[in-house]
Every structure is written in C-alpha cells, then in structure tokens.
C-alpha cells in the first residue's frame, strides 16, 4: 500500500456536527500554512474510513486541498470490524439511506466552511465504489459542488426503499460535471450500464465524462487490494487532478 506522510500537512480525526446524533467522526487534512483551501469531500468505499481512505485524503492535502472524509455509516455500524463483504453489505450498507448520506455530506461541507481552513466556494466530491455512486448523487443534490470524480460506482441497479434512485435517474439533475473512472473488466458494473450512462449524459447535454479502462478490474486505484493496477491508477489520478483544476477547484 502507498503510504503518504503528513509532512507539510495538518491531519487528524475530527467531529462533524449533525442534526440527529450530535456528531459523526471524520478525517480531515489541509496544508500546514495560512489561508483557505479548495475543498474535496472524500466518500468511502463500503469498508468505511480505514487507512486507505485517510491516505487518499493526505494525497489530496499534498496537492493543496482541504480533504474531509466523514464516517457515513456511523448510525448503522462499523464496517472496519467486519471482514466478510456480503456481511458488510447486508448488515450495514443496505441500511444506509441515501437521504442520510446527502445530509451528512452537507453537514461535512458546513463543518469545513466553519473550520476557517476551507474555501467551500471551490467544492468537489470524489468517492470510490459505494462512494462512486454517492458522488453522482451528491453532484445532483448540492448546487454548490463545482466538480465530481466518481471511481467505479454502480450506475444502474435495482432500486431499494432506502436507495430509490440510480445515478442514471439523476443525469438531468446534475449540478456539476462528473468524471467517471471505470474498469472494463469490472465484474459488478457491466460495460453496457456504463454505455447507457454515457448515452444519457450525451442526450442531456451534460459536460460529464466517463473513461472506461480496458481489461481493468473494479477497485483499480485501491493499492492495498489485488485489484490495484498502477498504470491505470496513475493515469486516472492525473485525470482527477486535471478535472478539478479545469472546473475551478484549485
């Protein structure tokens, strides 16, 4: 696993006020210097706020951003204590309402703004797997988001009571351009669903874009997992950096 140090950064655990349970935990990073910084909300995989998500925040901090990852399953359970993926999904993830997640991300942006270190007029969101789907949803939810980068998040799947909408249902509502980064060999996200999303974005005349890396599995950025593909990960991370700058988040 890549290890990003905290040299030149202020990094650590934070408490983010929310309306119903007092606060949720989070991890926040910003450059250790005066001023305010363009802000990136980092949305977890199904595994919660573990060390890799914190490392992603530090990578963004090294790029000059304030990066904040809120713990979005706080009311439902702690996925870092469970190793079985189907169990994480059935006991925690399936019980997390989209509405709750949107509210918690709003609260995270508000906390960042109140910290005095975030310039939330330059606000972006990025997320991975489960968080990739949430990136699309939040980019349709919050008109203050300037750019989103969604990593291999599901685009079309059966609706559920707590997760009633798919990203493809919200194309017309997107408030910000989203860059989707997907793998052509992803076993959980069929290529035809990616093609349908691309067609929907084009039909709606949205400036979002999806890049599909051939022969690349799900989770290709996750350098702590066997799915990691360095070449594609490096290329995709460079595209993230360019996308944020191009859309005024810098």
Q: Catalytic site residue 129? A: yes
Q: Catalytic site residue 23? A: no
Neighbours of 45 (CB within 10 A): 24
Q: Catalytic site residue 141? A: no
* 133 phi, psi to nearest 5 deg: -60, -45
Give the active site residue among 30, 57, 104, 218.
Answer: 218
**Is residue 17 classed as helix, strand or coil in its secondary structure?**
strand
Give the active site residue among 30, 55, 57, 129.
Answer: 129
- Long-range (24+ apart) CB contacts under 8 A made by 171-174 are 171/197, 171/200, 171/201, 171/204, 171/206, 172/204, 173/140, 174/136, 174/139, 174/140, 174/204, 174/206, 174/208
Give the active site residue among 55, 104, 141, 186.
Answer: 186
Neighbours of 90 (CB within 10 A): 11
Distance between CA atoms of residues 15 and 18, nearest Å: 9
Question: Can you spell out the DSSP letters for 171-197?
Answer: GGG--S-EEEEEETT-SSS-HHHHHHH
Catalytic residue numbers?
129, 186, 218
């Amino acid at each position: 696993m890549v290890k990003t140090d905290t040299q030149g950064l202020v990094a650590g655990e934070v408490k983010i006020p929310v309306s119903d349970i007092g606060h949720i935990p989070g991890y926040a990073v910003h450059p250790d210097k005066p001023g305010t910084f363009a802000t990136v909300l980092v949305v977890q995989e199904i595994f919660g706020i573990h060390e890799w998500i914190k490392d992603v925040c530090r990578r963004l901090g090294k790029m000059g951003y304030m990066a904040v990852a809120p713990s979005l399953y706080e009311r439902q359970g702690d996925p870092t204590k469970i190793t079985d993926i189907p169990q994480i999904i059935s006991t925690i993830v399936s019980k997390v309402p989209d509405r709750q997640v949107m509210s918690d991300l709003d609260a995270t942006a508000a906390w960042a703004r109140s910290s005095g270190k975030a310039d939330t007029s330059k606000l972006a969101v990025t997320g991975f797997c489960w968080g990739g789907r949430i990136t699309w949803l939040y980019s349709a939810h919050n008109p203050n988001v300037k750019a989103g980068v969604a990593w291999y998040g599901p685009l079309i799947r059966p609706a559920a009571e707590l997760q009633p909408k798919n990203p493809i249902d919200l194309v017309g509502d997107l408030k910000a351009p989203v860059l989707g980064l997907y793998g052509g060999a992803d076993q959980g996200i069929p290529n035809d669903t990616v093609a349908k999303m691309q067609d929907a974005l084009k039909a709606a005349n949205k400036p979002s874009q999806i890049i599909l890396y051939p022969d690349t599995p799900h989770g290709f950025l996750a350098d702590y997992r066997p799915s990691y593909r360095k070449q594609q990960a490096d290329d995709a991370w460079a595209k993230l950096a360019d996308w944020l700058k191009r859309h005024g988040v810098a």
